[in-house]
Amino acid sequence: MGAQMESWDAERADRAVTVLKAVADPSRYRLLWALSGAELPVSALAELIGAHVAATSQHLSKLRSAGLVTSRREGTRIFYRAAGPGVRGLLEEASVVALGVSPQDAASAPHTAEAPARATRRARVPRPVTE
C-alpha cells in the first residue's frame, strides 16, 4: 500500500460531519448548487426551491453555520454566495459517489451547469433500526 493512513483527528471529523449534514437535504443541496455559480437574494432562492422565504432562510442559516455560504446585506435584501470554490467540488464529488461512477470515469465525463438529477429528488433510503 503506497498511501499512508492519516492519523485520526476528531475535531476535523466533527467539522466534516457538520458539513455533510448541512448538505444532506435536497433543498440545501439545490441552494448550494445555485450559489456555487452566482450570488443570489433570498427571494430568488426561495423561488428556485419552491419554498417560502422563511423556510429558505432557515436552510441558508444551516449552510452558513456549516461555513458553506456567506452573505452580504444591500439595503433590506440579503445576498448569498458559496463560501468558496470547494463548495462546488463537494457537490460534484457527492454526485459522482451517488451515481457510483469511478473517479477515472468522472474525470473524463463532461460536466454541465445543470444540477445532477438525483439532487432534486428525495432518495428513499431505509433508516437504520436503533434500539
User: Would you say 64 and 70 are in contact if contact means Cβ atoms under 8 Å apart?
Assistant: yes
Has residue 62 got a pLDDT over 70?
yes
**What is the per-residue pLDDT across 43-59, written as a single tens digit (0 to 9) for each?**
999 999 999 999 999 99
3-state secondary structure of 118: helix
Percent of the chain with pLDDT over 90: 56
Q: Which residue has the cell 450559489?
A: 35
CATH number of 18-111: 1.10.10.10
C-alpha grid cell, residue 60: 441558508
The pLDDT value given to residue 9: 84
State how far the Cα of 78 lies from the Cα of 122, in Å rounded to an integer: 28
Q: Which of 41, 46, 75, 76 is nearest to 59 (CA)?
A: 46
At residue 80, does pLDDT exceed 80? Answer: yes
Burial degree of 45 (CB within 10 A; 0-12, 13-18, 19+): buried
The cell for 1 is 500500500
- In the chain, domain spans: 18-111
What pLDDT digit, counting tens, does each position of 85-102 carry?
A: 999 999 999 888 888 866
